[in-house]
Amino acid sequence: MWARIWAFLDDWFFGTAASGAVARGRLIRGLSYLYAVLRDLTGGQINLRAMGLVYTTLLTLIPLAAFSFAILKLFGAGGDLQPVVYQFFSALGPADAAKVTSRVVLFADRVGGGVLGSVGFALLAWTLIGTIKKVEDSFNFLWRVQKARSFARRITEYLTLVVGGPVILVMFIGMSHRAIDSAPFRDLARLPWVDLFTTAGIKLAPYVMVIVAFTGLYLLVPNTRVQFRPALIGAVVGGVIWAAVGRVFTAFVVHSTRLAIVYAGFAFIVAGLLWTYLGWLILLAGAQLSFYIQNPAYLRLGLQELKLSGAEVEQLALRMMYLVGRAHLTGEQRWSMNALATELGLPGIAVAQIVHALEHCGLLVVTEEDELLPARDIGRITLAEILDVARSRLPGDFSPRLMPIPPVDRLLGAIDEARRHRCGDLTLRDLVQEPPRPALVIASGNGP
């Protein structure tokens, strides 16, 4: 039953109804993004990653607060940590949010004061880095990124994020306080219409901070190039949902008596876990939306595994190597995986899988800028090698035990021999430099 419903919705959102240029077609195409995200959420994979991040959040909340507290104290702004933590747990209600905030700040102050010693602090730092890696893995999963950051790059960027985040927070809070406490601002605040804008700005400031934080995460965490517009749209939608769900959750916690009766003194802990789960789920859903906005070709495929036939894999490998080799030979702009996916009209996961196989076999090199280069001179890369990579299994796949059957073995051997004979000693350079064939001229039927 559910399979029929999803099939009907897929045909509705991605079939002929959405191909029209009229207002109805545009509306359907716009709603298809929302449908794709909801479909992926019901699939369960995003929910499982959100649940896993709840566990890692419990492990890393104190280390992250401790690092932030220590850095903020260097700038004389240690007290600015408490309102930030309170804002994160504000959906629990005033009483529970204040209780959780006081305990987190107390623990962070103890860790920052050196109570645990160097070994304990090193373990907390390792936990923090491991948690950030899990967040990166979740974002890479949503963005279909096959290759994670290198270890050196990961440590450098993680430390920059952990250290630079609190510094930016200090600058933002300090500039806000100075602007509010300045004499010109106090004079303007006395005007009626300015007072209304000030009140609205104070109410909207937490949501703006959430949108800015979401945008930064969507831009920086995935190990791929994320455009600003998709990241901003996903952050705005995620921030609005965050605010709406937060209000509903606050009303549920404040007015629900059964939660307090069942869990007694642990009710605020259970509520904190539920809110953390919802927060990660909203964050990941926004990341999925930003991915679809930047890569609309994935809307119908979703999180399903892409399956290509053997012939399609061979054609894809040859076309990719041809484009990369031609760009290298002529000095054109280098190809990236996203650019190749757009040029070939395929989802990026298909290109990424073949690129990974070609790189593993020493035919391609992927730079830190996600650009593709031949691994060696294109005159030394034979077409037979490229086809062998396309025909062989990808690294890590299961290799079945082959039972010898002489007639089948002879047939397959003859096919391989014919393919190798046709390729001969042809290289990628020969393929790139092949002169265009003359156009076929059809003689006129009227003779002289």
Segment 386-402, tens digit of pLDDT: 888 887 755 445 455 56
Domain count along the chain: 3
Statement to judge: residues 415 and 374 lie in one domain:
yes
Segment 399-448, tens digit of pLDDT: 555 677 888 878 878 887 887 777 878 888 888 888 765 544 444 444 44
Statement to judge: residues 239 and 339 lie in one domain:
no
Does 303 map to a domain? Answer: no
Segment 329-384, tens digit of pLDDT: 888 888 988 788 778 777 767 787 788 888 888 899 888 777 899 999 988 898 88
Average pLDDT over residues 261-271: 64
- Bridge partners (DSSP) of residue 373 are 365
Neighbours of 260 (CB within 10 A): 15
Residue 372 DSSP code: E
* H/E run at residue 374: strand 372-374
Statement to judge: residues 84 and 207 lie in one domain:
yes
Phi, psi of 424 (to 5 degrees): 55, -135
Question: 111 is written with which tokens?
Answer: 């860790």
Statement to judge: residues 183 and 105 lie in one domain:
yes
Specify the pTM. 0.66
Does 443 map to a domain? Answer: no
Statement to judge: residues 35 and 48 lie in one domain:
no
What pLDDT sits at residue 112?
54
Statement to judge: residues 275 and 165 lie in one domain:
yes
What pLDDT sits at residue 395?
46
What is the domain extent for residue 244? 44-298
CB burial of residue 126 (10 Å; 0-12, 13-18, 19+): exposed
Torsion of Cα atoms, 295 then 298 then 303 then 306, to 10°? -120
Statement to judge: residues 54 and 32 lie in one domain:
no
Does 203 map to a domain? Answer: yes
Does 441 map to a domain? Answer: no
Torsion of Cα atoms, 368 then 371 then 372 then 376, to 10°? -60
What pLDDT sits at residue 283?
92
**234 — pLDDT class (breaks 50, 70, 90):** very high
How many Å apart are CA 130 and CA 147, to the nearest integer? 17
Statement to judge: residues 24 and 101 lie in one domain:
no
pLDDT tops 90 at residue 290: yes
Segment 117-128, tens digit of pLDDT: 555 566 666 777
SS3 at position 434: coil
Segment 105-119, tens digit of pLDDT: 776 666 555 554 555
Q: Which residue has the higher pLDDT, 135 or 233?
A: 233
Question: 163 is written with which tokens?
Answer: 């250290």
What pLDDT sits at residue 310?
76
CB 387 within 8 A of CB 350: no
Q: How far is CA 414 from CA 404, 411, 419, 420, in A?
A: 16, 5, 9, 10
Does 219 map to a domain? Answer: yes
Statement to judge: residues 380 and 418 lie in one domain:
yes
pLDDT tops 70 at residue 173: no
Residue where a domain stops, chosen among 268, 298, 328? 298
CATH of the domain at 350: 1.10.10.10
Statement to judge: residues 150 and 64 lie in one domain:
yes
CB 428 within 8 A of CB 378: yes
What pLDDT sits at residue 448?
43
For CA atoms 368, 371, 372, 378, give the dihedral sign: negative
Statement to judge: residues 66 and 187 lie in one domain:
yes
Query: Using alpha carbons only, how large is the chain's radius of gyration in Å?
Result: 28
Statement to judge: residues 321 and 352 lie in one domain:
yes
Neighbours of 324 (CB within 10 A): 25
Residue where a domain stops, chosen among 242, 267, 298? 298
Neighbours of 136 (CB within 10 A): 20
Does 274 map to a domain? Answer: yes
pLDDT tops 90 at residue 233: yes
Task: Spell out the long-range contacts of 429-434 with Cβ–Cβ below 8 A and sequence spacing 24 or more.
Answer: 429/325, 429/329, 429/377, 429/378, 429/379, 429/381, 430/383, 431/318, 431/322, 431/325, 431/383, 432/322, 432/325, 432/326, 432/329, 432/378, 433/329
- Bridge partners (DSSP) of residue 427 are 382
Q: Which residues contact 437 (CB under 8 A, 6 or more apart)?
A: none
Neighbours of 283 (CB within 10 A): 25
